[in-house]
Structure 1
């Protein structure tokens, strides 16, 4: 499978294009580009002919993005090949876009990425594949405040109703979102479904399907209720008499595509919307900004969420023309997940805002709950905008704006900022203060301060340059850099780095997200006079597991630590017995002798010169636990260190090294005299000859374009097993992400079996995909009913003349766990390049340094770690999973899980793990019994 990029890649994809595609053009999974031709350029027929000639196929959809292009304005078309999903990596998509732009003479060509810059926080962190960023750090624990109108009271909406009994009547508010579901809170809401649109399934009806595959089913129902829930329900919307026009433009808040959002904005304007509320966000695009500017010229108010869980303000809120809304709580402090910065105009409640709650088709239709996110701050603001327009009369508002030579958008922004409530100690980065509906409505139109004209919002970067400053420090905007061509990709990289924990100071300076820049951006950045661009683009893409620090430091968490440390403090008690230790007994065992026992692993590491950890500091923390038990007030760093100590006990990660045998042969081996092996020491002394005979050699590091992506192991002649999510980093499934017909290599992929993972003599080219789990894994949380497995064909003899190592025997006995629960993992852990965060979402550079001292790992090389089977997961269709406790980090994806007994068969394929939690592996015996494609390949 040759590696392809740019237009050759697109032409290859088009070979798989269907004769027709019955899906909506804006289906979230479709491969899609927005093509913008210069004003007066080609019409649709002429552009179609040029595309067909360029691609050698006419099997694609092409239609104008906007219903009525304006004269003397570039015209944007939506282009989507038939039957193809978006499965190429982002840099490949931008490479295709760059070549289309050049060949067709386009103003801009932007791919829809399905960007994951905007997320709604969740109360519980889902398990994730290594490299997946956790979003529960944004969730504030607690219960929603009473009364249920508290958010309306904080924004003085109830007082505004008394001034304006119309409560938004006659004002049309469009809401691009996931759609709406039937709910009691909408019993007396005024909808105009005749103006609605469904861009996902097609047609007009914007019904939210509440599908389990959506990360936020019911999102549009929740935001719609905050905006316009009637007065007869259990809660109230900000504008209960406004007319709500839902537009189903996204299927998932977490997956943002710019083209359907731009289409939704244009549709809202065409049906006469007065306000557009956008509780969503992602990266910019030419078409998105074009749609916003068109709407502003039509006297529409547009408000957008600043963003959640990423820090930086996302688009469209980041556009200077937009009104960006940040989030606060009942104490007028910043909600911990709110994006913040100069782009935020003002704030509104975003923490435990009461909203309609219906997330499943069979869920009750009258549920309400406290939601978190700038989504709800935005919906509140949109409702208040409707109150403002209704109170003054939209005709008078437009006349006032026209007389001043500004837009209604600018007039509303200025009025809100002028009247915002700014309590003492109001946090920086959230604009003028908290929106105050009563003061806003009380302000006469002529008394509104001078509003900035539209020319003041000109920014060639579209809000990207301020984000660069936030992430990389001060710089100078390069006037020659082509933002139309490269801005969306720059924004995508900046946002990805922000989510990984990058910052301009401290340890965050070295953080890089798991992203690679396209060749076009790399070249443009290298030529730019702004060094921040080069710093952003000229880098590799190391895997970066995101570390979530468990929180809070409460009695339950301390009780668990006391159980484990109590077991570790008592000679003869195995770590597995920790669950039976009473926390009070664990507390009692942490006397001076017990603490010495707990600290033995670190003492041994110090003696070996492996690290310079402060034992006195840890001993002081243990002493405090001994004295105070579950009421101890430990700082998070100390507690994390103690939890790491627990996981370190009898679970070392031993480097695989070369050893010379008595016969003079060089074999890969481990140090079985390591004092940290504990209960595994004797077993590994016996097993070492067999480990050296093959299993240690048969595990290799998988690289794409020379960059570490994961681990794989030999399972048959010319066959290597790894995870499908590793495969997805260097190959694309075609034509669809699920059940593809074939795989297209998009990066040069290799597997290196040396201990260093960097020896050309032991490097083999990966040639093609022999098998892959049928369902897409990339960018999604772990789902235990998916088979995260791939089997690759590898050259049997490499360029150095070395034959592929002897394969593992892949276990076929499903009863293996009943005979021997000891196991081992061999893989290539990657450095924790994401900066950890605490339960408030704050970056913790200190913790990552302390963990490095505790573990002392030299990353990206081969490690062996013993452990035990924990629990078997439910055996659901397609995926059979068990948990294990061997030490793993990101980069271990695709590692072999071997049975530490018999002939050391491969019993599992490691595919995921959570920091200081369980690790997850597919049970290979169960998989091969249930999956014909796997069974046919394995000996």
Structure 2
């Protein structure tokens, strides 16, 4: 089943590999696979020889993942080609893995994806590249409660200390994480540096570098303090006398690689850990589950965070044999970001839990503050496990488990569930209740209920069936499906969809993330007896989600509507000024004449569309507002439609279409009589002939393997500009992600300049990369200091004989941005891939209704959107307020003045509110390699 994007592609890459690579094989950026062979299928030397033959190269690293091999068990090896970063798309990585598995006769071959499955919520979240950043939805505003031991009190840890003054002394808690750094909270913590390890940089020192490129610098310091901060600090860990063994195995909690975590678990077991606390998560892998089972067999207790900001329980917590910890708040309610479901065993405080803070190497190492996430619930619970082992004596616990034919892991899980606090109204999906350390230590070993033995946890899907049920509805995991081989890819697709808001019920049923499935998974899923697999793997273009959910009708929303209507009725006053208008002014203007004036723009728009709105209902709603003001009671549908009349107006997206001149020539044009153009109407009408002469034609839709990826525009002979993050969807930087030597196309890529984006006569092949910003965009935090730009070499004449459209003039005047400079965006907005929500997690009804009003269901075609330029946060970045969506990435920002030059490159946005673009004049001045292309 080998195909171009499988082994042949890897061979091409390996031919360019360096002779050696000094980096750790577990470096987060390296291209890496975990290869698992059958018991007795050959040693390291034999596997290396077979790999070299299959690859046509010996330029790779290969080493056993685990220090020892248990009799009769499969053996897993870590395979890393020299000098190559992991820059390939997920479906390509899985295709390579599938071919390696077949060629080498492996049980499993799992690529490390750097899966973004586990987010740590933060207060201030930067905008994403045309997407929803889930962290913002998870963050709960406010300060951590006093006293600083409140979380310990909710878990009855303080009371447990009275029962067991040893406070975990002699118990070793290992913590695979980002490592630790110096902090006063560790002043009297026992840290055993003879057992620590650094898998990222190599060596044994687990020092967290606190790099600015990390999403969560200091994460390991924070979670470590919740486990074992000593009694002399400002806060206290749940097991202050336990021995902490930090293992640096990840560089970012957000970016999960299974192989280093599996290696860290094995190292912890070999070094004598009694408890392993994992405040991280991602997708499953054979090696990860193998490491967990080996640890459980060695009488180790393993706990993992259920997950944050994703909904689904992530791995390793989702494995049936793992202990999965959910998150609660001070009121014993669900922390809003906690993953939940049947896989969660119990919960612990996760909202505003006091922790040590270390985010900057130069900052004082004394700060503590409240943290949020199941990371801290897990760390606190790991400390409780240490208290339990120390209280009873680990030898006696092992003896009690043996007598029952169960593991220590199963015995601890059962004991915690048996003693957990379950207050009235405790949320479902968070396990047995809140961990109760006092009751747990008070429960004699002989009084623990029958523990479920590990054999009862056998689940062929490894917890994936639960994820499928959550996303797609009930079903039964197909026992004949090769879960070891294909399960990780299924889980990756499921988690991506869950982060985008997909759900088996309600508004998220049609939501999809932009992900592709490998050819192998598509084939296997289509033949499976579980139709959910096919539904997940056979992925077309994601449709726009149908989003209507009830929300409370409150006076604040009605006041906003009335203020907006009042502003709209005052000459010269823009809708943006509505916040300063007394709602009573709007109420007073809603007599019969005022209502007619308010509804007139909507009526004119409806006359030009196929959409239907009940104007009589709206008129009745306005009349009710006129009578009752902010105390009115309106239906949700009526209220949302009224909000659409006054919110986010004068920022339409006009569909680009054709008009035929008297001479019979077809020109791309826009409707300049659209009533929502407002202040822009006259200016755009003046510019219309010039827009038709070139700028509208010069913008095209970029497709990879026939799927819409973004937008591009012509800037020179055979040159198209787009974003680097769009480029990363169809080409891979080699050999490294940053400052690559070259780019390898991994999709058949075209750009189509027709209004529909789907006219073969106007498609041009993308042939190569002429220029790209030097730093990777996709997997790192959004940073406006990075240049999210690429220039593509394309055909100058396509297969239909059409010449490339006339190029935009690329602006050189750095002073073009005056106060509120008028601009336009031309691009191909795609359906929203996630449900828009505000910082409270509530649906953005104004955005939802505005999207319907502007686009209906007509996406992936060319639109023209006017707006204003605004100040930016970096010299080469400015903001704008034109209407954009995902798919607009790579859109041109043109100035509505002069010869309509391209002044900016759109690269990121947040739901019609804050959009960001690179200033091309400033880029020319700061990037000589870019400027050289425009003499």
**Aligning the two structures, in what range does the TM-score lie when normalised by the shorter sequence?**
over 0.9
Distance 1:804 1:219, change over 3 A: same
Selected match of 1:902 from 898, 916, 920: 898
Distance 1:48 1:640, change over 3 A: farther
- Residue in 1 aligned with 2:873? 873
* Residue 89 of structure 2 corresponds to residue 93 of structure 1: no
Mapped contact 1:546–1:835 kept (Cα < 8 A): no
- Residue in 2 aligned with 1:269? 269
Distance 1:543 1:906, change over 3 A: farther
- Residue in 1 aligned with 2:65? 65
User: Post-superposition shift, 1:611?
Assistant: 2.9
- Residue in 1 aligned with 2:255? 255
Of the structure 1 ranges 148-157 and 125-134, higher mean CA displacement relative to structure 2 is found in: 125-134
Helix, strand or coil for the counterpart of 2:932?
helix
Q: How does 1:277-296 map to 2 (within 5 A)?
A: 277-296=277-296
Distance 1:930 1:840, change over 3 A: closer
- Residue in 2 aligned with 1:27? 27
1:830 and 1:155 map into 2 onto residues whose CA distance is: 47
Mapped contact 2:836–2:911 kept (Cα < 8 A): no
- Residue in 2 aligned with 1:384? 384
Distance 1:575 1:424, change over 3 A: closer
2:780 and 2:355 map into 1 onto residues whose CA distance is: 26
- Residue in 2 aligned with 1:313? 313
User: Post-superposition shift, 1:40?
Assistant: 1.0
Residue by residue over 1:668-691, the C-alpha shift from the partner in whole angstroms, topping out at 9 and shown as x without a partner, is: 111122222222222222211111
Mapped contact 2:95–2:520 kept (Cα < 8 A): yes
Mapped contact 1:545–1:889 kept (Cα < 8 A): no
Mapped contact 1:644–1:851 kept (Cα < 8 A): no
1:590 and 1:185 map into 2 onto residues whose CA distance is: 62
Mapped contact 1:197–1:247 kept (Cα < 8 A): yes
Q: How does 1:218-237 map to 2 (within 5 A)?
A: 218-237=218-237
Helix, strand or coil for the counterpart of 1:302?
strand
Helix, strand or coil for the counterpart of 1:355?
strand
User: Post-superposition shift, 1:134?
Assistant: 3.0
User: Post-superposition shift, 1:631?
Assistant: 10
User: Post-superposition shift, 1:495?
Assistant: 0.6
2:618 and 2:855 map into 1 onto residues whose CA distance is: 15
Of the structure 1 ranges 267-276 and 608-617, higher mean CA displacement relative to structure 2 is found in: 608-617
Residue by residue over 1:197-225, the C-alpha shift from the partner in whole angstroms, topping out at 9 and shown as x without a partner, is: 11111111111111111111111111111
Helix, strand or coil for the counterpart of 2:352?
strand
- Residue in 2 aligned with 1:928? 924
User: Post-superposition shift, 1:124?
Assistant: 2.5
User: Post-superposition shift, 1:131?
Assistant: 3.2
Mapped contact 1:547–1:834 kept (Cα < 8 A): no
Helix, strand or coil for the counterpart of 1:194?
coil
- Residue in 2 aligned with 1:883? 879
User: Post-superposition shift, 1:466?
Assistant: 1.6
1:207 and 1:294 map into 2 onto residues whose CA distance is: 27
User: Post-superposition shift, 1:362?
Assistant: 2.1
Mapped contact 1:127–1:781 kept (Cα < 8 A): no
1:375 and 1:620 map into 2 onto residues whose CA distance is: 51
User: Post-superposition shift, 1:857?
Assistant: 5.5
Mapped contact 2:421–2:435 kept (Cα < 8 A): yes
2:873 and 2:43 map into 1 onto residues whose CA distance is: 56
Of the structure 1 ranges 440-449 and 837-846, higher mean CA displacement relative to structure 2 is found in: 837-846
- Residue in 2 aligned with 1:126? 126
User: Which residues of structure 2 form unaligned runs of 5+?
Assistant: none
Distance 1:351 1:637, change over 3 A: farther
Distance 1:601 1:786, change over 3 A: farther
Residue by residue over 1:604-642, the C-alpha shift from the partner in whole angstroms, topping out at 9 and shown as x without a partner, is: 323334533456777788889999999999999888766
Distance 1:752 1:138, change over 3 A: same
2:123 and 2:637 map into 1 onto residues whose CA distance is: 23
1:778 and 1:35 map into 2 onto residues whose CA distance is: 27
Q: How does 1:45-194 map to 2 (within 5 A)?
A: 45-194=45-194
- Residue in 1 aligned with 2:463? 463
Distance 1:87 1:373, change over 3 A: same
Residue by residue over 1:252-303, the C-alpha shift from the partner in whole angstroms, topping out at 9 and shown as x without a partner, is: 0100000000000000000000000000000000000000000000000000
1:618 and 1:169 map into 2 onto residues whose CA distance is: 69
- Residue in 2 aligned with 1:916? 912
- Residue in 2 aligned with 1:774? 774
Helix, strand or coil for the counterpart of 1:894?
coil
Distance 1:390 1:594, change over 3 A: farther
Distance 1:642 1:115, change over 3 A: farther
Distance 1:586 1:392, change over 3 A: farther
Residue by residue over 1:520-578, the C-alpha shift from the partner in whole angstroms, topping out at 9 and shown as x without a partner, is: 101111111110001110113549899999x9999999998887665433222245666
Helix, strand or coil for the counterpart of 1:152?
helix
- Residue in 1 aligned with 2:806? 806
1:471 and 1:735 map into 2 onto residues whose CA distance is: 37
User: Post-superposition shift, 1:647?
Assistant: 5.3
* Residue 790 of structure 2 corresponds to residue 787 of structure 1: no
Distance 1:349 1:856, change over 3 A: same
- Residue in 2 aligned with 1:738? 738
1:755 and 1:864 map into 2 onto residues whose CA distance is: 10
Helix, strand or coil for the counterpart of 1:384?
helix
2:846 and 2:815 map into 1 onto residues whose CA distance is: 45
* Residue 651 of structure 2 corresponds to residue 651 of structure 1: yes
Mapped contact 1:168–1:241 kept (Cα < 8 A): yes
1:882 and 1:759 map into 2 onto residues whose CA distance is: 33
- Residue in 1 aligned with 2:834? 834
1:819 and 1:243 map into 2 onto residues whose CA distance is: 60
User: Post-superposition shift, 1:873?
Assistant: 3.4
1:58 and 1:260 map into 2 onto residues whose CA distance is: 23
Helix, strand or coil for the counterpart of 2:467?
helix
2:198 and 2:471 map into 1 onto residues whose CA distance is: 37
2:178 and 2:623 map into 1 onto residues whose CA distance is: 53
1:257 and 1:583 map into 2 onto residues whose CA distance is: 54
Helix, strand or coil for the counterpart of 1:351?
coil
Residue by residue over 1:704-735, the C-alpha shift from the partner in whole angstroms, topping out at 9 and shown as x without a partner, is: 11011111111111111111111110110101
Q: TM-score, normalised by structure 2?
A: 0.95
User: Post-superposition shift, 1:874?
Assistant: 2.4
1:329 and 1:769 map into 2 onto residues whose CA distance is: 50
Residue by residue over 1:827-859, the C-alpha shift from the partner in whole angstroms, topping out at 9 and shown as x without a partner, is: 111111322345454678997467424653511
Mapped contact 1:500–1:511 kept (Cα < 8 A): yes
Mapped contact 1:545–1:890 kept (Cα < 8 A): no
* Residue 453 of structure 2 corresponds to residue 453 of structure 1: yes
2:920 and 2:896 map into 1 onto residues whose CA distance is: 15
* Residue 665 of structure 2 corresponds to residue 669 of structure 1: no
Of the structure 1 ranges 43-52 and 98-107, higher mean CA displacement relative to structure 2 is found in: 43-52
Helix, strand or coil for the counterpart of 1:510?
coil
- Residue in 2 aligned with 1:723? 723
- Residue in 2 aligned with 1:397? 397
1:165 and 1:598 map into 2 onto residues whose CA distance is: 72
2:547 and 2:780 map into 1 onto residues whose CA distance is: 17
- Residue in 2 aligned with 1:678? 678
User: Post-superposition shift, 1:506?
Assistant: 3.4
Helix, strand or coil for the counterpart of 1:662?
coil
The CA RMSD measured in Å over matched residues stands at 2.8
Mapped contact 2:653–2:854 kept (Cα < 8 A): no
Helix, strand or coil for the counterpart of 1:238?
coil
Helix, strand or coil for the counterpart of 1:897?
strand
Aligned residues: 931
- Residue in 2 aligned with 1:752? 752
User: Post-superposition shift, 1:10?
Assistant: 1.0
Residue by residue over 1:436-467, the C-alpha shift from the partner in whole angstroms, topping out at 9 and shown as x without a partner, is: 10111011001100011111011111111121
Mapped contact 1:546–1:833 kept (Cα < 8 A): no
2:850 and 2:681 map into 1 onto residues whose CA distance is: 27
2:862 and 2:54 map into 1 onto residues whose CA distance is: 46
Mapped contact 1:91–1:516 kept (Cα < 8 A): yes
